[in-house]
Amino acid sequence: MKKWCISFIAAFLAFILLFGGLTIAADPFFHYHKPLSFLSYYMPDRDERYLNDGIVKHFDYDSIITGTSMTQNFRASEFDELFKAHCVKVPLSGASYREINELLIRAFAADKDIRIVLRGLDYGLISAAPDEMLMEKYPDYIYDDSILNDAEYVLNKEVFTLATFLDVIWYTARGGRTTTFDEYGNWNDHVTFGREAALSEYSRETKQAIVPYTPLDTGNLEQNVISLAAAHPETDFYLFFTPASILIFDEMNQKGTLENQLKWEKEAIELMLPYDNIHLYSFFDDFDMITDLDNYKDKNHYREEINSYILSCISSGEHELTQDNYEEYCDRMWDFYTSYDYDSIFSD
């Protein structure tokens, strides 16, 4: 019995070491190291919150593209060509400003020489609470720096089987290639765009009274956007309001919050412009684009061509907001969106 117990314990420990060692070696979520050159890694967007931390810690890059699902259709190769850079794309679908900021903080903590951050700022989250977390649960054993809970990763049967040690091996054996940052998170070819599609996803609310104005609570921008730029003057932060469709303006108009939002936008712009390394862009005054629902799959999400257009404009300085032009921009926004015939959107 004693020999059997010793043999069983030894066999069990050997299995655990093999199990954990193989996961560490392949490291499908890049928790310990960057991709191994002889393995191929499939990076599905469903695993963004598992993959992104390892990407920013261990990959080689000098620039970052990040934001919510509104940034998933960027092509890193286009960015690299326009900005003479070597970037990683690390979007977080459905994320708050805080979630994205914390990912960027970890990137800077990884001792990378980050030249450029391209970051989308979702328009409706300007006034959100600073500590809002839109995703309730994160894999904390990946995001902290403690090795004490790494057993949740190296001995995780889902990591080993489903998500994705065996997947890495099988994917490599089948001749697969590692997902590129053009492809990572990109959903452009998997959805339907157009007026009919966008309207089918939209439920119009009953018109409500205009909500009385209250000044913008600047905490979200100060904590989760500006503070990082102020801490890293050596890095250029290219920020842009993600250009959702006319339907979001109809939604705000129906709720009575449109005038507040336009005033908050101006206050947000005034908050960010004084920083020399913040370059702020908005495409909401490209009225033809915003009102053309053929560019969208729903009220928010635009086709890949818009992402390419954004990169082109930013690289050439088009649609940049400056101290000299932002008030004129805000006036155009106010005149157009407060007088727009929103009912015409729904007429045949």
| Structural domain span for residue 262 | 2-346
CATH code of residue 29: 3.40.50.1110
- Give how many domains the chain has, as a whole number: 1
Model pTM score: 0.90
What's the pLDDT at 154? 56
What's the pLDDT at 158? 52
Distance CA 218, CA 265 (A): 11
Average pLDDT across each block of 10 residues of the chain; the chain has 348 residues. List them in order. 55 46 71 84 84 93 97 98 98 94 95 96 95 74 63 54 63 86 96 97 95 96 98 98 98 98 98 98 98 98 98 98 98 98 92
What's the pLDDT at 164? 58
Q: Return the structure tokens found at 104.
A: 């960027």
Distance CA 203, CA 266 (A): 28
Contacts of range 230-236, beta carbons closer than 8 Å, 24 or more positions apart: 230/275, 231/108, 232/108, 232/114, 232/277, 233/276, 233/277, 234/277, 235/114, 235/115, 235/116, 235/117, 235/277, 236/115, 236/116, 236/117, 236/277, 236/279
E strand or H helix at 347:
none
Neighbours of 252 (CB within 10 A): 20
Q: Which residues contact 171 (CB under 8 A, 6 or more apart)?
A: 40, 41, 42
What's the pLDDT at 22? 60
What's the pLDDT at 204? 96
Instruction: For residue 258, report the phi and psi dihedrals to the nearest 5 degrees.
Output: -60, -50
Instruction: Answer for the pair 117, 64: CB distance below 8 angstroms, yes or no.
Output: yes
